Amino acid sequence: MRSQEIILRAVLIIGLLAAIAYNINVWIAAPLGLLTIAATAELAIRPYAASSIDRLLLGCGITVTAFILIGIGLNLTPWGLTRITLTFAWTIINFGVLVWRRKLGTHIEKPLGGIISFGPWVLLASMVLIAAGVLAVVGVRQWNRQPVLAFALTSTSPDSVVVEIDSTSLSDRYRIVAASKSSGALQYSSAPLTVKSGGDGQRIFERVPINVAGVWTINLESLNDGTVVRWLKVDIHSP
Amino acid sequence: MTRQVYRLGTGIPSYGEKPIEDGNPQYGLGQPADLPGRQSPPWLRGSPGETRPLTASNEAAQPIGVLDAAGQQAVTPTRLRAGWAGPVLLVVALGVLGQAWLGYRARITGSFSTNLWYLTLCLIFIPSAALVTSRRINDRVRVWFTLYMSLALLATRFVLYPTQFVYHDELINYRVLLSIANSGHLFTRNSLLPAAADYPGMEIATITIHQLTGLSLHSSGIIVLLTVRVIMTLALIRIIQRISKKLTVGCLAALIYATNPQYLLFNSTFAYQSVALPLSFFGVYVFVMRSRSRQLIAIAPAAAVVAAVAVTHHLTSIAVVVVLWAWYLFTLITKRHVSQLLLFAAASTLLVATRLWLVRSDVIPYISGITRNSIATIIAFLSGKSNHKFFTDPTGAHAPAWQVALSIASVLIITSTLVPSLWLAITKRRLLSAAVMVLFTIAALYPIIPVGHLTGAVSEIADRSSGFVFAGLGYVIAAWWFRDFPFHRHGKRGSFTPRRHTWLLIPGLSICFVGGTIIGSGPDWLHGPGAYLVSAENRSVDQLALQAASWEGQNLPPNSRVLTDRVNALLAEVYGNQHVLTSLADGINTNSLSTLLLAPPAPADADVACQANVQYLIADKRLTWSLPHVGAYIDAGEYPNGNRTLPPPPSALAKFNSVPGAERIFDNGATRIYDLEGLPCARKR
């Protein structure tokens, strides 16, 4: 193997280590990681693959197989499959393959053979595929912005409960009303709560005072029409 | 006396088989070597100026993994002649874009257009099939286009659901993945499908990519699926090429394989068999590649792949062992030894059996449950008590007439090509290699797929077998199609020797592709996003259900015992980190416990909840909207016994509003969560 190739491969491996160690942005770490994995797989199977098709097949196959078997092995250690153990194991394999195949030269060929000669079509198709991906993600983002309103209990204590209003894409004014049929129970009515949530959602926490033990009904009422839009039932016990 | 030897291509012995005693290699189906070959049909012959005729592949002449004298790959002319190959690249991409647009529209309008879904799939498949079977491209480009098509079909799943897994099996496997990510260790039990945690191969590969690249778990899962799709397509092509000596046969076999009912949907999901199946093909490929070596260590790489399969999927690993022993059996019958095959089969058996033995407590109940259910369904069908309706989902929605017609047409086309192909095999059986006989045997199992659809439960199992059956079918039909010798031994056409018309190939493949997809991919609502539907896998995973599951994860104690419907159960396990009560993991009585969600209020409700120690009940009031689209709201055997004709009443899902001790702690308009820990009997425990 030429010394330039060895140096390039070593730089790749160390680059991946650095990317993981320093938690580098995924847009850099992911291509680097995938490239390193591919480079190691290619080197490992080089003597057995005569064409780019076989390289791809054998490279993908041994990579997935190696991942699975390494994972099974790591699970037997006390540390299991963590970022550190997986990185450590993969680094050993990277350098191991590099040493193992150090005397092996290669013939570089255009990986896609004749297809690459269709440059403009490949470019056009790639752009269409990227557009498909973007369109799909945009659709999901819009879907995630559908209006939802949840009213939930988050904690209780003998003298109060904390409730949560979790909303997305809603704009309204509400009031929380708590009441109980227990003797001596005082009805609680909160100040008006303005909910103005965008597509990313909004969460409002409200403390509701409870003056006696017993079963309490906590309503979320719309101030527009006075209807109860959501309600909860909690059983407060004496301390 | 010179023995006639039939062959399809070059004279290279395959699969480590020894040449027969007269020195002439024989394998597969083919042309009598000592007879003048019939002239290939015009479309098979190269056009003037073409460098490589379709039926005599240069690449086929080159044994896999062998370099030429100079240590380089024998480079063949790779210039494309088909001027429409470039536009095909674009049209296939437009097909994927069309799918993305359908998903986008469905999310905005709530309506998913099934007709356009099939149309855009055809945009991907038909031009690709036409190009791959064209004589105007060279073999290398043929392989790349086959791979491009298979990846484009897989990509259609990702553009419909680009950010999360939503199908039943996907969510179960995602739960396993999250367990590994959180704990760093394998085999953490989950209640939905305990066996899934015992076979974490796919999740290990995913978590490794996640940790090494920093990509999200979902993106890492997509990379794993893309990788195994590459493995499956190329391994299939190469294996078939080894047998037939023709890359064109391999590529056509891959196209035929793409018409299998599970190809587009089920085997494209983030589920363990999606990885195990390609790895099993790869294991065979690696064995074939190395089997000429006499050293015992030569089987180590293939055995390592089988070991990976053995920890990835139970049924696939069992199937691999069965195939290997069948192969060995056929070598005994044909008296043609395959080097190292016995050792490989024995090693594979040992690996798979060891894994099965270690996880027998989870796998045996799971498989035996499926078997019992299937037998009961078959008995019900045979005794005329089956309520299964063809092309109708459990809510009564019937498939359109064109889908029914295409499904039947696809079965007829496959059968009408399978019968003469098998007849050919029978007439030439003494000349077939053991590997070919295995493929023929696998192909002969095809009828179980359409016949399995006579009953509901068996149809699922039958469809799942298609991942294997179509590998044999692909070879058998492709080899039959590309045969270059008189079909009948005397050169006359008979009942089983129809002519092969070129113009029939692409329409036939297209009908099989669409028909197969209709058969195997379930009802229309299963194909993509859209408005909420009751108990309908992907269509029940909406913002409201996800919001509830997310809240559970943040506010409920982890691994609390939860009872809920099928889809909310999946979400509670995955995003809520809860322990959902199931008959498989907890041995609960589904019929009794399901009354808490599906039966009208009764005095015994609190007692039933107490007996099963239910801590939280998640009630989705939308269950009252319709009958369940997958046939059950919660699980098989749920209340009521027998056939349900109406959805549960609203009071069934609101009964705990008035049960003393029960608290209503979450309400988002659709989903209500009840805390049942305060029930009087629960307090006693």
Q: State the 10-residue block means of pLDDT for chain B, 685 residues long.
A: 35 34 34 32 31 35 32 41 82 96 94 93 94 85 93 96 93 94 89 88 96 94 97 95 89 94 90 94 91 76 96 94 95 87 95 94 84 79 73 78 92 89 79 88 90 73 85 89 56 52 84 92 89 93 94 93 94 93 84 90 90 93 92 87 85 91 93 92 53
The label of the residue with tokens 């409960």 reads A161
Closest CA to B624 of B646, B594, B595, B655: B646
Q: What residue ranges in B155-269 does DSSP mark as E strands?
A: none
| Residue B313 and residue B199 in contact, taking contact as beta carbons nearer than 8 Å | yes
* Residues A97 and A14 grouped into a single domain: yes
Domain identity same for A14 and A74: yes
Q: What is the SS3 assignment for B666?
A: strand
Do A50 and B64 lie within an 8 Å CB cutoff? yes
CA distance B584 to B396: 28
What average pLDDT does range A183-212 have in this prediction?
88
Mutate to test the interface with A, among B58, B272, B665 (most CBs of A within 10 A): B665
Buried/exposed B459-496: b ≥16 CB within 10 Å, e otherwise: bbbbbbbbbbbbbbbbbbbbbbbbbbbbbeeeeeeeee
| CB distance B250 to B236 below 8 Å | yes
B678 at interface of A, judged by CB pairs closer than 8 A:
yes
Determine the residue of chain A that is closest to B301 in CA distance: A62
Residue of B67, B205, B238 with shortest CB distance to A68: B205
Residue A85 lies in a domain: yes
The Cα B215–Cα B211 span in angstroms is 8
Q: CB A34 to CB B223 under 8 A?
A: yes
Per-residue pLDDT of A102-159, as tens digits, reads 777 666 555 555 555 677 888 999 999 999 999 999 999 999 888 999 999 999 888 8
Q: Is residue B542 part of a domain?
A: yes
Radius of gyration, CA atoms only, chain A: 30
Write out the two tokens for A37: 């994995």
Cβ–Cβ contact B123 with A under 8 A: no
Distance separating alpha carbons of residues B620 and B671, to the nearest angstrom:
4
**CATH code: domain of residue B622:** 3.40.50
Summarised one tens digit per residue, pLDDT across range A3-25 is 778 888 888 899 888 888 888 88
**Dihedral through CA B427, CA B433, CA B434, CA B439, nearest 10?**
-70
**Do A155 and A89 lie in a common domain?**
no
How far apart are alpha carbons B197 and B172 in whole angstroms?
9
Residue B31 DSSP symbol: E
A210 and A162 in a single domain? The answer is: yes
Mapped onto helix, strand or coil, the DSSP state of residue B82 is coil
Which of B104, B305, B312 lies closest to A135 in CB terms? B104
3-state secondary structure of B119: helix
Reduce the DSSP state of residue B541 to 3 states and report it. coil
Contact B214, A19 (CB under 8 A): yes
CB–CB of B158 and A136 under 8 A?
A: yes
Is B207 an 8 Å CB contact of chain A?
yes
For residue A223, how many other CB atoms are within 10 A of its CB? Answer: 12
Residue B589 lies in a domain: yes
Partners of B209 on chain A (C-beta within 8 Å) are 33-34, 37, 67
The SS3 of residue B398 is strand
Asked if A139 reaches chain B (Cβ–Cβ under 8 Å), the answer is yes
**Cα(A120)–Cα(A100) distance, rounded to whole angstroms?**
40
Q: Is residue B636 part of a domain?
A: yes
Domain-located, residue B92: no
Domain with residue A189: its CATH number is: 2.60.40.10
Give yes or no for A143 touching B (CB within 8 A).
yes
Q: Measure the CA–CA gap between A12 and A18, rounded to whole angstroms.
A: 10
Query: To which H or E segment does residue B327 belong?
Result: helix B314-334
Q: Domain check: are A9 and A79 in the same one?
A: yes
Does A30 map to a domain? Answer: yes
Q: What angle do CA B456, B368, B343 make, to 5 degrees?
A: 115
pLDDT score for B109 = 92
Residue-wise DSSP of B600-618: PP-TTHHHHHHHTT--EEE
Query: CB pairs below 8 Å between A and B: how many?
Result: 291
Q: How close A183 comes to chain B (CA, Å)?
A: 17
Question: How far, in Å, CA of A142 to CA of A145, rounded?
Answer: 5
| A-contacting residues in B 573-632 (Cβ below 8 Å) | none
3-state secondary structure at position B440:
helix
Q: Say if residues B153 and B263 touch (Cβ distance below 8 Å).
A: yes
Question: Does any domain span residue A117?
Answer: no
Find chain A residues with C-beta within 8 A of B664's C-beta: 231-234
- Confirm whether A213 is domain-assigned: yes
A157 CB near a chain B CB, below 8 Å?
A: no
* Tokens representing residue A91 in the block: 């680094």
A198's CB contacts (< 8 A; 6+ apart) are: A145, A168, A169
Give the pair of three-digit tokens for residue B50: 């073409």
User: Same domain, yes or no, for A9 and A96?
Assistant: yes
The single-letter code of the amino acid at B483 is R
Do B213 and A135 make contact, defined as CB atoms within 8 angstroms?
A: no
| Closest residue in chain B to residue A31, using alpha carbons only | B213
pLDDT of residue B56: 33
> B561 has which bridge partners?
B579
**pTM score of the predicted model:** 0.87
- In this predicted structure, the answer to whether residue A98 has a pLDDT above a threshold of 60 is yes
B246 within domain boundaries: no
pLDDT for B53 equals 32
Q: Please state the ipTM of this predicted complex.
A: 0.91
Least confident window among A93-97, A232-236, B217-221, B497-501: B497-501
Measured between CB atoms, does B643 come within 8 Å of chain A?
Answer: no
Same domain, A99 and A159: no
Q: What are the chain B neighbours of A121 within 8 Å (beta carbons)?
A: 85-87, 89-90
Give the span between the Cα atoms of B515 and B519, in whole angstroms. Answer: 6
Residue A48 lies in a domain: yes
The amino acid occupying position A32 is L
Last residue of a domain, one of A49, A79, A108: A108
| Minimum CA–CA partner of B679 in chain A | A235
Overall residue count recorded for chain A in this entry = 239
Q: Is residue B556 part of a domain?
A: yes
Is B102 inside any structural domain?
Answer: no
Q: Quick one: A153 and A90 in the same domain?
A: no
Domain count, chain B: 1
How far lies B273's CA from each of B185, B201, B277, B411, in Å?
A: 21, 10, 6, 24
pLDDT, tens only, A204-229: 999 999 888 889 999 999 998 889 99
Give the tens place of pLDDT for each residue, A36-68: 999 999 999 988 888 889 999 999 999 999 999
Q: Is A136 within a domain? A: no
Residue with tokens 């063949």: B76
In a domain, A62, yes or no: yes
| DSSP assignment string, chain A | --HHHHHHHHHHHHHHHHHHHTT--HHHHHHHHHHHHHHHHHHHHGGG--SHHHHHHHHHHHHHHHHHHHHHHHHTSSS-S-HHHHHHHHHHHHHHHHHHTTT-------TTGGGGGGHHHHHHHHHHHHHHHHHHHHHHHHHTTS-EEEEEEEEEETTEEEEEEEEES-EEEEEEEEEE-STTPPPEEPPPEEEE--TT-EEEEEEEE--SSEEEEEEEEETTT--EEEEEEEEEPP-
CB distance B191 to B585 below 8 Å:
yes
Rg (CA), chain B: 27
DSSP 8-state code for residue B338: B
Locate B302 and state its tokens.
């293939």
Domain that holds residue A160: 148-236
Tell me the two tokens of residue B225: 């699926």
Residue B416 is classified by DSSP as: H
Closest B-chain CA to A115: B141
Place of tokens 């890359």: B247
**Residue A77 touches chain B, beta carbons under 8 Å:** no
Q: Is residue B614 one of the residues assigned to a domain?
A: yes
Q: How far apart are CA B343 and CA B303, in angstroms?
A: 10
| Residue finishing a domain among A76, A92, A108 | A108
Number of domains in chain A: 2
B548 close to B571: Cβ distance less than 8 angstroms: yes
- Is the separation of the CB atoms in B534 and B540 below 8 Å? yes
User: Reduced to 3 states, what is the DSSP secondary structure of residue B17?
Assistant: strand
Take residue B74 and report the two structure tokens written for it. 């024998």
Residue A120 lies in a domain: no
Judgement on whether residues A11 and A87 belong to the same structural domain of the protein? yes
CB A112 within 8 A of CB A58: no
Nearest chain A residue to B182 by CA distance is A82
Interface of B with A in 337-356 (CB under 8 A): none
Are B243 and B288 within 8 A, CB to CB? no
Q: List the domain range (segments joined by +) for residue B567.
A: 537-684
